[in-house]
Amino acid sequence: MTKLKKVKYNKRKHIKVGDIMQNKLTKREQSKQNNILAIQTFKNQGYTVAQTAELLRLSKRTVYRYWDNTDYKIFNNISEVKTETEQYITKEKYKYQMEKGKDLDYEWDKILSKRKEIATYTELKNEKGNKLWFVETEKIKSAIDYIEIKAKDDLLKYSKSLFKNYISSEEMLLDSLADESFYSSTIEGAFSTRKVAKELVTDKRVPSSKSEKMIYNNHMALKYGLEDKENQITEDLMLKIFELISKDTLDEETQINKYRVEDVVVRDKRGEIIHEGAHVDNIQSMMDDLFRFMYSNDINPIIKSAIFHFYFVFVHPFPDGNGRTARATSYIYLVKEGYDIFKHFSISALIAQKKSKYYKCIKDVEDNELDMTYFIEFILGVVSESIDIILDKYTRKHIENYIFMELVDKGVNITNEQKKIIKYILNKENYSATIENYTKKNKSSDYKKVNKDMNYLTDIGILTKSKEGRHNLYSINVIK
């Protein structure tokens, strides 16, 4: 078992002072260039992505972004430099950043005009006939690169290793579907637990409440969509998904044959109207436009999935279950388009945590002349973050299995409590914990016994021990 040797590395020395002065780089641009050059240096020296990230104290995502950046150059003209961290702000935010004395409407119109000059206009329209549009920002481009290249390769590579040696792909898919079913339902008000969700999707529990029916229905809809043999999502498939999602959860007066027959409004917790669904007479034509849009242009499927999600909620074709149907259908669309990585994780899990921002981004589109960039950036950010989480989960699982396999190979026996300690430390953010951390979490554990177990695991090379203030800090002694 090996541990990385810490080294001091000065990223600044790899960029010439003359270059910085000549180009008048901002601190942000300079930092970006320093990062790229440092990453390339470590790559050329044979370090892995994980090792580079640890040594430079960068996130793996940042390292992934610049790992294959072979054509990067220091620009001769600073106006050409575009940073990936520039915020695509709303008018509401801009008014707080604008210089005093300037006219907000005039300045915002200039920004809006520039955005529209480089925007992609879709064939999707609101009820007044205005087209929905978006700008493919650097943030969106970076997210797509991350999802399609590095994340796709690493996620599938890691999962194949795990499936081959430790867990089944069916188990992984079941976990993912349970999470998606649970979190997508909680966004819409269902109240339950992940444990109950897992029991529902494995048929170990019969749904007995509306919340449990929502979760179970969501699972059945996702399962149906994944088993569907058609290559495309269609209106018929979406209607079947809605039928499964809404089964036995709609009030009698809201039961429908197809789309809703009454106008609806969406209200926030205070009862204020935050969105009005399309007029009933316009629903069919707008939904026809949506399904035509999904297969009539060369927009990236990941962006298209986010647009489908937004426009579906925007039209609000059903009296209830619109969000769940939108999320399920956009998920199935991506899998049908060949993005099997989406089977590994739940997008709705993070949306549930960012529920307020989710609804805020929907409102931002409506408040900013149908600019979908806000919602697309949000969804792609959620996807990227979800991939980070699942990669971290797979990494920890891989290390856990590696440790236990090593112990078996060497004929070393450990107790169940010692296994529990290893798993606990593996799930800590920095793979480290004190005895106090562990006993506080596991109140039934005896302090002296835990101390003895941790020292034993240190003696056999599983853990290392260092000082953190007055306490001993135990860390996993393996990077695999």
Residue ranges of the annotated binding site for ATP are: 320-327, 358-359, 368
**Direct distance between the N- and C-terminal alpha carbons of the chain, in angstroms, rounded to an integer:** 8
- Please give the single-letter amino acid code of residue 396: R
**β-pairing verdict for 120-125 and 131-134:** antiparallel
* Contacts by 265-271, CB closer than 8 A, 24 or more apart: 266/316, 268/359
Contacts for 230 with CB less than 8 Å, ≥ 6 apart: 237, 336
**In this structure, are residues 38 and 23 in contact, taking their beta carbons and an 8 Å threshold?**
no
Which tokens sit at 276? 């009005």
Per the annotation, the verdict on 316 as an active-site residue is: yes
Closest-CA residue to 325 (of 382, 257, 248, 240):
240
Q: Say which DSSP state 45 is in.
A: T
Axis-axis angle for helices 194-201, 210-227 (nearest 10): 50
For residue 120, which phi and psi values (nearest 5 degrees)? -100, 120
**In this structure, are residues 11 and 57 in contact, taking their beta carbons and an 8 Å threshold?**
no
Q: Output the CA angle 247-360-140, nearest 5 degrees.
A: 100
Q: Output the CA angle 172-174-175, nearest 5 degrees.
A: 65
Catalytic residue among 14, 279, 309, 316: 316
Contacts for 361 with CB less than 8 Å, ≥ 6 apart: 374, 375, 377, 378
Which residues of 22-135 form beta strands (DSSP E)? Answer: 120-125, 131-134
Q: Is 470 left (phi over 0), alpha (psi -120 to 50) or beta?
A: alpha
The Cα-based distances of 455 to 404, 447, 464 in angstroms read: 18, 12, 9
CA 196, CA 204: separation in Å to the nearest integer? 9
The Cα-based distances of 243 to 189, 218, 240, 267, 290 in angstroms read: 19, 10, 5, 24, 19
**In this structure, are residues 39 and 67 in contact, taking their beta carbons and an 8 Å threshold?**
yes
401-436 core/surface letters (b: 16 or more CB in 10 A; e: else): bebbebbeeeeeebeeebbbbbeebbebeebbbbbe
Binding-site annotation, residues: 320-327, 358-359, 368
Contacts for 120 with CB less than 8 Å, ≥ 6 apart: 133, 134, 135, 136, 299
Question: Which of the residues are catalytic?
Answer: 316
